[in-house]
Amino acid sequence: MATTNDLKNGMVLNLEGQLWQVQEFQHVKPGKGPAFVRTKIKNVMSGKIVDKTFNAGTKVETENVDRRDMQYLYADGDSYVFMDTRDYDQLMVPATIVGDAAKFMLENQMVMVATHNGNPLYIELPPSVELRITETEPGLQGDRSTGGTKPATLETGAEIQVPLFLEQDTVVKVDTRDGSYISRVS
């Protein structure tokens, strides 16, 4: 148990049997009335973000979530296998938990896996990854201008929009949060 005065970003709370991660918090002391804590919390399982206000000093139940860097090994049916590089333990994570992160994961890539009581909660990718374009329409002369985009398929199978001048086998940097093109690597 902790009080709302102890809240920190990233802390996981157990509210009504569900796990919520603190995204933002702000202690507010109005001129009139009691102090309170305004928070923005994210449901660990569904990803839903809500605003919640607590009275200052209210006790909240905290949960320990183990966040470890793990290496993605391979997909096995409807699960993904990750390995802890410290003790070589393997963890099978269902595809429902991996979700859209699978679009940007390559074998042997390091990702962060969060678990609670040995059960996987979510996968966190680095903010950007470098992936090779495996299929896209060829660029045409005059396509060097700014603004135009075309679809491209990456080596993971994900499809993103890239500038017109990019060609097949080009390595690009992709934002893992929204799947947008950032820059050309080579």
Task: Report the pLDDT averaged over residues 85-109.
Answer: 89
Range of the domain at 47: 2-63
Non-local CB neighbours of 41 within 8 Å, separated by 6+ positions: 13, 15, 20, 21, 22, 23, 49, 50, 51, 52
Non-local CB neighbours of 95 within 8 Å, separated by 6+ positions: 78, 79, 80, 102
Counting the structural domains of the chain, the total is: 3
The pLDDT value given to residue 66: 87
CATH number, domain of 26, equals 2.30.30.30
Same domain? For 113 and 97 the reply is yes
Same domain? For 32 and 83 the reply is no
Q: Model-level pTM?
A: 0.72
pLDDT tens digits for range 10-38: 888 999 888 898 889 999 999 888 999 99
